[in-house]
């Protein structure tokens, strides 16, 4: 990982107007690069770590190359494709960062700052003449300094120190994950795999409240389906290709008078109070098949019927409990409405 290039990217690229996926891709390439700007992570690795779709990443890299921020070189080994080589434009990054550093500007002509990647005009290949910057003297093969692709070595690159903004984004992502666990009864841990898509949506300008709204909306619409409940995973729920549509539907749902979830409990005008002890005891009897010492109530009979239709016994335990609780609440509400009528 090149700390120097990472700093150039966050300061220089942002100051130059790069935003969203393009900025994240430059940051990930810098994380994988040596100080000469050479890296070769796979497109799938970049997509997974930025929370963007594969086609989005490819399009963004093409535009970054057209704008002169990098050069991409495709590689093959026999009949097999290898990961692309990427050459970051160190000179352009340094100049962009220099425009941002008001107190200690970086000198373009300083010998101490001159990158080893700059070579003479005669050493340039046709591939780099159109980009306006030079390749490193090594010829661009990272194997001279590394024996393994960074994308294949999970321990070779340590994460860069987070800025204050990134720390805040991570904190909000953890809050959203906690809300997801509370609403769905899941137990996802705050690992990168669980947080990365949430962080990506927050970086795009979405709020914590919007993420929580989508969680509540999808739990209501998917929670009763064993198949669809599997999509209530943080990596899936907040994927870039689907999130905007989910948020649009959730916003309409909220405006139509959706119930409110407080500390994991749904509340709404006229909603009945749920006897959780009765509900939980009935769940244990339903799962184990044990017959109660006394005849079950009409509510328990109704819930057992609905739970059998939903195949609750075949669900994973956390989804089974969440689905049972939802069915119990709906049946209690339905019975209350019938009595009121």
**How many structural domains is the chain composed of?**
3
What is the distance, to the nearest Å, from the Cα of residue 155 to the centroid of all Cα atoms in its chain?
20
Q: What CATH number has the domain bearing residue 55? A: 1.10.10.10
Q: Are residues 147 and 10 in the same domain?
A: yes
Give the model's pLDDT for residue 291.
73
Give the model's pLDDT for residue 272.
57
Q: Are residues 75 and 214 in the same domain?
A: no
Q: Are residues 221 and 197 in the same domain?
A: yes
Give the model's pLDDT for residue 36.
85
Give the model's pLDDT for residue 149.
52
Give the span between the Cα atoms of 34 and 126, in whole angstroms. 23
Give the span between the Cα atoms of 225 and 215, in whole angstroms. 15
Between 259 and 73, the more confident residue is: 73
Give the model's pLDDT for residue 184.
78
Give the model's pLDDT for residue 107.
42
Give the span between the Cα atoms of 129 and 177, in whole angstroms. 47
Q: Is 274 left (phi over 0), alpha (psi -120 to 50) or beta?
A: beta
Query: How confident is the model over 23-48, as pLDDT tens digits?
Result: 999 988 988 888 888 988 888 889 99
Determine which of 75-84, 113-122, 220-229, 311-320 has the lowest per-residue pLDDT on average: 113-122
In a domain, 158, yes or no: no
Give the model's pLDDT for residue 16.
83
Which of these, 202, 33, 206, 17, lies nearest to 96 by C-alpha position? Answer: 17
Q: How high does pLDDT run on average in the chain?
A: 76
Asked if the model's pLDDT at residue 61 lies above 90, the reply is yes
Domain range holding 212?
164-267
Give the model's pLDDT for residue 60.
92
Maximum separation of any 2 CA atoms in the chain, in Å: 93
Query: How confident is the model over 296-330, as pLDDT tens digits?
Result: 888 899 999 999 988 888 888 877 888 888 888 88
Q: Are residues 92 and 207 in the same domain?
A: no
Residues facing residue 85 across a β-bridge: 73
Q: Are residues 42 and 101 in the same domain?
A: yes
Phi first, then psi, for residue 329 (nearest 5°) are -65, -45
Q: Are residues 22 and 142 in the same domain?
A: yes
Provide the 10 A C-beta neighbour count for residue 106.
17
User: In the block, which residue shows the tokens 């690795």?
Assistant: 45
Give the model's pLDDT for residue 56.
92
Asked if the model's pLDDT at residue 205 lies above 60, the reply is yes
Determine which of 9-13, 138-142, 184-188, 335-339 has the lowest per-residue pLDDT on average: 138-142
Give the model's pLDDT for residue 288.
85
Q: Are residues 12 and 144 in the same domain?
A: yes
Final residue of a domain: which of 129, 152, 175? 152
Averaged over 2-9, what is the pLDDT?
81
Q: Are residues 65 and 144 in the same domain?
A: yes
Averaged over 57-84, what is the pLDDT?
85
pTM for this predicted structure: 0.35
Q: Are residues 246 and 139 in the same domain?
A: no
Averaged over 12-26, what is the pLDDT?
86
Percent of the chain scored above 90 by pLDDT? 15
Asked if the model's pLDDT at residue 251 lies above 70, the reply is yes
In a domain, 42, yes or no: yes
Q: Are residues 57 and 132 in the same domain?
A: yes
């Amino acid at each position: 990982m090149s700390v120097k290039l990472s700093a150039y990217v966050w300061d220089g690229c942002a100051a130059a107007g790069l935003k969203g996926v393009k900025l994240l891709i430059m940051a990930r390439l810098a994380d994988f690069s040596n100080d000469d700007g050479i890296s070769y992570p796979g497109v799938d690795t970049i997509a997974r770590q930025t929370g963007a779709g594969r086609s989005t990443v490819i399009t963004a890299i093409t535009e970054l190359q057209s704008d002169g921020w990098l050069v991409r070189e495709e590689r093959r080994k026999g009949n097999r494709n290898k990961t692309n080589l990427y050459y970051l434009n160190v000179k352009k990054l340094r100049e962009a960062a220099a425009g941002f550093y008001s107190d200690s500007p970086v000198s373009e002509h300083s010998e101490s700052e001159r990158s080893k990647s700059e070579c003479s005009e005669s050493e340039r290949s046709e591939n780099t003449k159109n980009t306006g910057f030079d390749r490193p003297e090594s010829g661009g093969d990272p194997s001279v300094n590394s024996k393994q692709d960074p994308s294949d070595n999970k321990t070779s690159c340590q994460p860069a120190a987070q800025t204050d903004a990134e720390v805040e984004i991570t904190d909000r992502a953890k809050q959203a994950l906690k809300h997801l666990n509370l609403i769905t009864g899941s137990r996802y841990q705050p690992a990168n795999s669980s947080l990365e898509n949430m962080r990506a949506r927050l970086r795009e300008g979405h709020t914590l409240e919007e993420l929580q709204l989508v969680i509540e909306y999808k739990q209501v619409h998917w929670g009763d389906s064993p198949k669809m409940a599997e999509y209530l995973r943080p990596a899936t729920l907040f994927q870039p290709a689907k999130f905007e549509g989910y948020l649009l539907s959730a916003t309409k749902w909220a405006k139509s008078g959706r119930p409110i979830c407080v500390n994991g409990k749904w509340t709404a005008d006229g909603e009945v109070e749920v006897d959780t002890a009765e509900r939980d005891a009935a769940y244990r009897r339903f799962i184990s098949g044990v017959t109660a010492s006394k005849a079950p109530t009409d509510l328990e009979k109704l819930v057992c019927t609905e739970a059998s239709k939903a195949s609750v016994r075949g669900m994973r335990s956390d989804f089974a409990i969440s689905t049972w609780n939802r069915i119990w609440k709906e049946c209690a509400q339905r019975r209350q409405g019938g009595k009121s009528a």
